[in-house]
Amino acid sequence: MTTKDNAAGAKLEKMTTNLAKIEALSSRLMAALAARPASDPGVQGPGQEIYMKAATAYLAGLMQNPSRVLEQQISYWGKTMRHYVDAQQALASGELRPPEDTGPKDRRFSNPVWDSNPAFNYLKQQYLFNAEAVQNAVAVMEGIDDHERKRVDYFSRQIVDMLAPTNFLGTNPDALERALETDGESLVRGLENLVSDIEANNGEFAVTLADPEAFVVGENLATTPGKVVFRNRMLELIQYAPSTETVYETPLLIFPPWINKFYVMDLKPQNSLIKWVVEQGFTVFVVSWVNPDASYADVSLDDYIREGYLTAMAEVRRITDQPQINAVGYCIAGTTLGLTLSHLQRAGDTSVKSATFFTTLTDFSDPGEVGVFLDNDFVDGIERQSTADGMLSKTLMSRTFSYLRSNDLIYGPAIKSYMLGEAPPAFDLLYWNGDGTNLPCKMAMQYLRGLCQGDGLAKGTFPVFGHAASLSDIKVPLCAIACETDHIAHWRGSFNGIKQMGSEDKTFILAQSGHIAGVINPPSKGKYGHYTNPRPVAGAPDDWKTTASFTQGSWWPRWADWLANRSGSMIAARIAGESTNPALCDAPGTYVLAGTARLPKG
């Protein structure tokens, strides 16, 4: 038998093995999909009303201004037909070349085959023509308000992005090339990845974004030394060990969002905000929220304020023997910090010396991109599903936020994992992104109905312990950090909320980048810059930005200086977990480990 025969036999054996694996994996896939629990249709997509409104608006435009609509359609037909004729002529002449390609550059089509191969180039150009036509059709709709137009535009783009040829095996040259190179092994690995993801998510589709084996919370993430010094059913309170001989007198208490886990601020040491703040000489306390299950169904925002905010504030004052603290709220925790400050002002309680808001919305009159999910078609479905489950599941929230950046957080990772058979990267931020938490049903609906839909805090109607909270009641010195490309808490909305607060001492900082990268931006990286303006936080957000000064680099040092001026004198460093307040366990505590992919050893 020749060497060539041996190679052919080995290839045949490999193919037979792969086919057997595919058969076994297909059976597992069917079983995993069958195990998917029933879910409310309202959480799967927008209601039919939006499609009816879109169709009605398009027809209205056709009736009222037919020439405008026809011009748009004729332009589309002309481009597609001209491209088809050019492709046919090139084929008839025997030239294996694509027709002229003057379309926009799109990183989804970075493989050179999309430009050099006539068939793939034809698919690409026709897809881009169709995508442009859909966008133009939405743009010319008449008789539809701005909010509905945004929703139609968003969900139209979702459909267009979903139908990109890169999302299908037969029209993805990267996947086909990899399959040929590996004799189909990449497709087997991809199917293994798909089946594993669906099994891990109880039949739901959720692509794994980061290698779950690469990180362990408490071992190579969330490693800043500290102690859990208090625990109740809502939180663990972590006091971090000092790294300086002296510290500022006034302690700092950070409230992270309970939609995710606190260690986004304590990833690796080189990008840990918590570690950096400790190194600046502050006594730092951080709340680690419980990851609620169905037994927390009736927990309300009042409970988060009473057993979370007020209790943590009291414990920090007791432990440090200080009458006041400085407080930080991040995202939804910033919104709730605003509610808490309004309550404290009404009660005559001066225990908060200053407040800092990270990427926080308190005025929801324009909720930004996330607003497409805040109409009743979605919120009604969320309420029905959450009532049945006792909680708003982390899977549903993660999926919703991922669709705000679907090409980056869904389709791109799915292509790499399922078509190319690649293992997910060892990326700490993406690992954290996949380590989500649930929300109690009652609290979630109060937030969605009363704050997001009703804009109750800005309108002064949202109740805290039975009394309406108001932005004008927030009178402590405050600093707000918003992020320029934030798709969850857009910076203009953040600005509009801050300007309505009653404080006479306001600082607003606009950081470059998004909801996470704009905040977790250590000075050592020298990466994203920020805008500041000595003018009052008033007027239109864009006017403020136009006259603002830009500084390259992190906003952290600027905030640390602001905080230092409101933190009193320097005293001997406080030791976490002293005999007067014994530690319950080491940081990062136990609550943060609920639902993590891997637990620390021991």
Question: What count of other Cβ atoms lies within 10 Å of the Cβ of residue 480?
Answer: 25
3-state secondary structure of 133: helix
- Range 503-508 average pLDDT: 97
User: What size, in residues, is the chain?
Assistant: 602
pLDDT digits (tens, 9 = 90+) for 5-41: 555 566 667 667 777 777 788 888 888 788 787 777 7
**Residue 567 has what pLDDT?**
97
Exactly one of 331, 452, 479, 483 is catalytic; name it: 331
**Residue 22 has what pLDDT?**
77
Among the listed ranges 86-90, 310-314, 350-354, which one has the minimum average pLDDT value?
86-90
3-state secondary structure of 494: helix
Residue 278 · residue 243 · CB < 8 Å: yes
**Residue 30 has what pLDDT?**
84
- What residues contact 273, with CB distance under 8 A and at least 6 apart? 265, 266, 519, 520, 522, 556
**Residue 176 has what pLDDT?**
92
Higher pLDDT, 185 or 304: 304
Q: What whole-number distance in Å separates Cα of residue 33 and Cα of residue 22?
A: 16
**Residue 154 has what pLDDT?**
87
pTM of the model: 0.91
What are the residue boundaries of the structural domains of the chain, listed by start? 10-172, 226-364+463-586
Among the listed ranges 312-321, 397-406, 585-594, which one has the minimum average pLDDT value?
397-406
Token pair 């603290």 is at which residue? 325
What token pair was written down for 354?
Answer: 């200053």
**Residue 580 has what pLDDT?**
78
R_g over Cα of the chain:
27
User: pLDDT confidence of 257, banded at 50, 70, 90?
Assistant: very high
**Residue 372 has what pLDDT?**
86
**Residue 63 has what pLDDT?**
60
Query: What is the sign, positive or negative, of the torsion defined by CA atoms of 243, 248, 249, 250?
Result: negative
pLDDT digits (tens, 9 = 90+) for 140-183: 777 778 888 888 888 888 889 999 999 999 999 999 999 888 88
Report whether pLDDT(250) > 80.
yes
Report helix angle 48-64 to 146-162, nearest 10: 110
What DSSP line would sit under 554-594, residue for residue?
-SHHHHHHHHHTTS--EEEPPPTT-TTS--SEETT-SGGGT
Report whether pLDDT(237) > 90.
yes
In 201-279, where does DSSP find H-type helix? 273-279
Q: Identify whether 331 is a catalytic site residue.
A: yes
- Range 287-308 average pLDDT: 97
- What residues contact 185, with CB distance under 8 A and at least 6 apart? 14, 18, 421
Q: What whole-number distance in Å separates Cα of residue 344 and Cα of residue 464?
A: 10
Taking domain 226-364+463-586, whether its CATH number is 3.40.50.1820 is answered by yes
3-state secondary structure of 550: strand
What DSSP line would sit under 86-123, residue for residue?
HHHHHHHTT---PPP--SPP-GGG-STHHHH-HHHHHH
pLDDT digits (tens, 9 = 90+) for 519-533: 999 999 888 999 999
Which pairing describes strands 585-586 and 226-231: parallel, antiparallel, or unpaired?
Answer: antiparallel
**Residue 70 has what pLDDT?**
62
Among the listed ranges 101-105, 190-194, 420-424, which one has the minimum average pLDDT value?
101-105
Cis peptide before 588 (omega within 30 of 0): yes
